[in-house]
Structure 1
Amino acid sequence: MSKSSKRKIVIILVLVSCTLIGFISGRFLRSDVKCEKAKCDSVYPSEKVEVKSDRLEIYHEQDRRFIYTKGIDEIKYDGRELIYYDDVFDAVDKLKLGLKKVDTYKDGGSIMYKGKDISLLACNTLEGNRDVFIGDGQLQYEENFCKNEDRYFVQTFDVLNVAVSNEEKYLYVTLRRFTGEEVKTFRILRELEPSIEAGNAYEFTFKYTAVSIADESMEEIFKSALLTKVEKTDKVGLDQVNDIIETVEK
């Protein structure tokens, strides 16, 4: 065989090898996971950006349905933070497709999913609870998870200022208790009291959630409970309604 023929064979073998390597890389080393029997292009594992305390926190609420987080700072699907999707719960459903189902609970069908550095508990109870709990890889099902809390408490605040938000459905209200010096500003849904005005007192009704309330500070209440109602009151001083709040030390 001539040197020219040998050179051609070597070139052909090199080209074939490169083609095979490219195919294998594309087939087995790609970063996305194709959805099976689902209308989506790819599923990316959640990215745990920063480990936080192991305290349960409310991440998102929509139509009285909650997403809670524990032990993680950010949750991303397809490279984008979940909270920025138009339908956060739809993004959660797609996120589940990239995780492995590891356990089903006898509460009606709640399911625990696991992935690299992430756990996702999708509640599906007989009582109709459809909350979602997302945490690091160590998250476990706990007694207070997937429960419907139908307990409420009322706190009265003086409204010092009202400001509009860039988002039409929200208002910023600056509040203070009659008995304290703490002054804080919170964002609330406008629909709870569209005509709320500074200089008046209002009764704020909160619903307990799966998050335990650590203390009676305004910041802790608004962070751990769900505001469900705001109503103007003429009661003053010690006649104002301020229910005892069930607190649990962290």
Structure 2
Amino acid sequence: MFSPQIYGYDRAITIFSPEGELYQVRYAGEAVKRGWATVGIKCVDGVVLAAEKRKVSSLIDLDSIEKVYMVDDHVGIAASGLLSDARVLIEYARQEAQTHKLLYDEFIDIELLTKRISDLKQMHTQYGGVRPFGAALIVGGVDKHGPRLFQTDPGGIYFGFHAVAMGAESGRITEFLEKEYKYDLSLNDCIKLAIRALNLVLEAPEPDRLEIGVVDVKTRQFRKLPSDEISKYLQEVRGGSGGGSQQPSQS
């Protein structure tokens, strides 16, 4: 059987294969799978976004690597895949959030923000001269509906989640979350659960290897945890006080 390359299905983003696939979108999904592990968890008290940061060189300043971003006061985004593509999407999300606030004098609904990001992604699967974004995003925050958590993929599809993982070893992390997740967790226990999930794949469970952002329902304010606060949560997780029933093995 001829390969997709012979027919050109993998070169043109606007041509479907006989199986109904857009190969460039699939390849963009592979970029996400090779990204660093990222999780989002929603609980009764708020939303947690967490990501690992790998030290690919001893000369890299880990503080210069950003995986979790503030979009507006009430919402943040965690990214996996090509971070250069993710930055473009996040800047677009920030502009959409600010435009909505100026026009309607209210914070943008988080699902509406996710839909607008997804619409832009979808446009990049339909027209010549562009390529799909090689990044998946987890959008999380608190709006008038309460805690919200969504994931959008390179093809422009989005779903709501209680907990979601993407990037390297996402299948393994998802299995762990399916066993350990409870919606009635406190925000503190939700943070610990996110750390325990990432501990499955972290190169080194140290504060500078983690980036965590939270939005709680009381303040509806997104904030990123400083290194000393992450260190405190790591110590509690090592001591066995994390959310869930058992401590995960580390690799």
TM-score greater than 0.5 by the shorter chain: no
- TM-score when normalising by structure 2: 0.31
> Of the two, which has the highest radius of gyration?
1
- Which structure features the higher share of strand residues? 1
- Which structure features the higher share of helix residues? 2
Higher RCO (CA 8 Å, separation ≥ 6 residues):
2
